[in-house]
């Protein structure tokens, strides 16, 4: 599959998705496709044919073909920390799962990878209907069982002069007017 024309189309689709979200407040529903192509572009994985059961891409590691299921999620600033990934069918064949987290512009921020064994163990753990019946892991759970495979470079921070740094440390604290301590002792 030639990726250059597809990437050009996805660039246009990303713009349309941003406009759609701005007008409706809802996502357009293309994160899965974007996540697959971002993984291919960034990691160099080979995308599988459409509707391949169990996995979306492959790559060769140490002479062995590794089958990768790819999940994507657009995580907006201030979003609920309890967001879930799409369903993972553990009855299908795959060796690892990639989670591509996208920003508000549908650009990859970070890609995590978890091996099949860890994913199956997390999904099989008793207690959660969404985990056990629908195969949906929370993003935070996936992050805890996986590892960062790629992360976008953080923009450089502005350089602060020593004088400015000293004056910012000496700034007076804001009084706690109208704030009370909670049971944990934190100001609320």
User: What distance in Å separates the CA atoms of residue 166 and residue 160, rounded to the nearest whole number?
Assistant: 10
User: What distance in Å separates the CA atoms of residue 42 and residue 162, rounded to the nearest whole number?
Assistant: 38
Please give the pLDDT value at position 158.
58
How confident is the model over 68-89, as pLDDT tens digits?
999 999 998 888 878 999 999 9
pLDDT bracket for residue 128 (50, 70, 90): low
pTM recorded for the entire structure: 0.78
How confident is the model over 143-187, as pLDDT tens digits?
999 999 999 997 656 565 555 545 544 444 433 334 344 444 444
Please give the pLDDT value at position 78.
84
With respect to residue 94, please indicate whether it lies within any of the assigned structural domains: yes
pLDDT(98) > 60: yes
User: Pick from 57, 82, 61, 60: which is nearest to 71 by CA?
Assistant: 57
Please state the domain count of the chain. Answer: 1
With respect to residue 183, please indicate whether it lies within any of the assigned structural domains: no
With respect to residue 79, please indicate whether it lies within any of the assigned structural domains: yes
With respect to residue 163, please indicate whether it lies within any of the assigned structural domains: yes
User: What distance in Å separates the CA atoms of residue 164 and residue 62, rounded to the nearest whole number?
Assistant: 52
Please give the pLDDT value at position 186.
47
Range of the domain at 104: 3-169
With respect to residue 187, please indicate whether it lies within any of the assigned structural domains: no
With respect to residue 152, please indicate whether it lies within any of the assigned structural domains: yes
Reported as type and span, the H/E element at residue 11 is helix 3-24
With respect to residue 156, please indicate whether it lies within any of the assigned structural domains: yes
With respect to residue 179, please indicate whether it lies within any of the assigned structural domains: no
- CATH value at residue 137: 3.40.1350
């Amino acid at each position: 599959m030639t990726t250059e024309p597809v990437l050009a189309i996805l660039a246009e689709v990303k713009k349309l998705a941003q406009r759609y979200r701005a007008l409706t407040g809802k996502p357009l529903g293309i994160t899965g496709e974007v996540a697959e192509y971002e993984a291919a572009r960034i990691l160099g994985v080979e995308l599988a044919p459409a509707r391949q059961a169990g996995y979306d891409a492959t790559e060769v590691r140490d002479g062995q073909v590794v089958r990768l299921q790819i999940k994507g999620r657009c995580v907006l600033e201030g979003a609920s920390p309890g967001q879930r990934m799409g369903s993972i069918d553990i009855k299908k064949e795959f060796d690892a799962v990639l989670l591509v987290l996208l920003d508000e512009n549908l650009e990859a921020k970070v890609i995590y990878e978890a091996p099949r064994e860890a994913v199956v163990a997390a999904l099989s753990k008793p207690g959660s209907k969404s985990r056990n019946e629908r195969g949906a892991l929370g993003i935070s759970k996936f992050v805890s069982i996986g590892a960062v495979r790629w992360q976008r470079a953080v923009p450089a921070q502005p350089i602060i002069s020593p004088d400015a740094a000293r004056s910012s440390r000496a700034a007076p604290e804001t009084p706690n007017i109208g704030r009370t301590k909670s049971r944990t002792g934190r100001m609320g």
